[in-house]
Amino acid sequence: MSKFILITILNFITVCYVYAQQKKNDPVFDNWFAQQPQPIMPQTNNPPPPPGVPLDGGLIALIAAGGAMGYKKYKEKNVE
């Protein structure tokens, strides 16, 4: 009796496998672990990045004024 059950189960599995091979595009038999084709995304035309910002005269003058003021405070502290 157990041989009959085993043969029946193997026969059923074989029939299911053959049916699945014939119906590969059927969503019921899709393999979840197989690599699915990735959709091709449209390429966007990204604008180029803006150019680097140079140090202009205003920023250089501000740094120089801060350095001069710091030097003046340093000299005043050392005189006393």
Question: Over the stretch 44-62, which tens digit does the pLDDT of each residue have?
Answer: 677 788 887 766 777 788 8
Q: What is d(CA 55, CA 52) in angstroms, rounded to the nearest whole number?
A: 10
Q: What CA–CA distance (Å, rounded) separates 30 from 20?
A: 9
pLDDT tens per residue, range 10-26: 888 888 777 766 655 55
- Residue 2 CB neighbour total at 10 angstroms: 6
Task: State the pLDDT at residue 29.
Answer: 52
The pLDDT of residue 4 is: 85
The tokens 């091979």 sit on which residue? 21
DSSP state, residue 26: S
| Mean predicted lDDT score pLDDT of the chain | 76
pLDDT > 80? residue 80: no
